[in-house]
Chain A
Amino acid sequence: MSDVLQVIAASSLFHGLSMEECQAFVPLARPQLVAKGEYLFRLGQLAPTLFIVRSGLVELTMPLSMRGGDQDVAVEEARAGDTVAWSALIDPYRFTMSGRAGSDVELLGFSPSDLQAALAAQPDIGLRILTNLAKVIARRLQVTQTLWTRELQRAVNVTFGSA
C-alpha cells in the first residue's frame, strides 16, 4: 500500500472512505515540500491548490499591526492529516489567511478542477468528502465564534464591570 494512499485515507478530508475509494485520489495528489519559515500561500492570493498535511506543522496567520509594522501572527495550526487551503474549493477562491511552514512540511496538493471532476464522477463519494470539508469549515467557524464571544465578554467586563 503506498504511503500517499495511507496519508489520504488518514486525512480529515477523506475520513470514512475505504482504501479502495481513496485509491482513485492517489493519482491526483501532488507531493510538495516546504521548508520551515516559507509561505505556502499568502492572504488575498487566488487559491490554486488544496492541501493535506502529510507531516510537519503549518501555521495559518493573520496580520496584526505592532509598533507601526504588520506582523503575521499564527492564529491556527494544522498538523498531519489536516486539510488546509480549502478556499481553493469555495467561491471566491481567495485566501483569507496566510499559510506558513512552522517546521519543514510535507504536503499533498490537489488541483481544485481535478478534485471537482473526481467528485462529480462519483457523487456518493463526493457527498462524503464535501461533508468532511463542511466539518473542517464548521470547526473553524465554531472556534472563531467562540473566540469572538470571549473577547466580547471581556469588552463587556471592562465597559460595564464584571459581577
Chain B
Amino acid sequence: MAIQVYLYVLVVALFGGMFLGLLLSYRESEAERAHTASAATQARPSRFFGGQSRDEALMVELMLRQVEHHLRQEVLHAERFINDPRPQTLRAGCRSGLELQ
C-alpha cells in the first residue's frame, strides 16, 4: 500500500513538473515574441510622419505619369487625324481609355 502511494505521488510530481515546465517555457517564448514584434514596429518609419506621405507622393507621381502618357498617346492620335481627317482616324484607339494599371 505504501509503495502504491509512493508511486502515485511520484507520477503526479513527474507529470506536474512536466506540465509546469511546458507552461513556463510557453510563457517565456510568448514574451520574447511580443518583444521582437514591438521592436520591429518601433524600427519601422512612422507612417504618420513619413511613410504615409511618401506612399502618397509616390501614388500621385504614378498617377501623373500615367495621365501624361495617356495624353501623349491622345495627342499622337489627334495629330494623325489632323493630317488624315477620316472618322476611322478620329476614333482610332478610342476603345482604350485611361485605366489604372
Contacts and interface: CB of A to CB of B under 8 A. Distances in A.
Contacts of A71: 60, 63-64
A143 interface: yes
Nearest to B74: A147
A149 B60 contact: no
Q: What does DSSP make chain B's interface, helix, strand, loop or mixed?
A: helix
Size category of the binding interface on chain A: 20 to 34
A74 interface: yes
A74 B90 contact: no
Contacts of A76: 75
Interface in A145-163: 146-147, 149-150, 153-154, 157, 162
A71 B75 CA distance: 20
Nearest to B67: A73
Contacts of A73: 64, 67-68, 71
A34 B91 CA distance: 38
Interface stretch (B7-15, B22-30, B78-86): B78-86
Interface stretch (A10-18, A61-69, A87-95): A61-69
B78 A150 contact: yes
Contact of B90 (A150, A154, A162): A150
Contacts of B95: 157, 162
Given A67-B56, A143-B75, A154-B97, A149 B90 contact: yes
Return the 6 tightest CB-CB contacts between A and B, nearest first.
A146-B78, A143-B78, A153-B94, A142-B82, A146-B81, A74-B68
Interface of A: 64, 66-67, 69, 71, 73-76, 139, 142-143, 146-147, 149-150, 153-154, 157, 162
Interface of B: 56, 59-60, 63-64, 67-68, 71, 74-75, 77-79, 81-82, 90-91, 94-95, 97
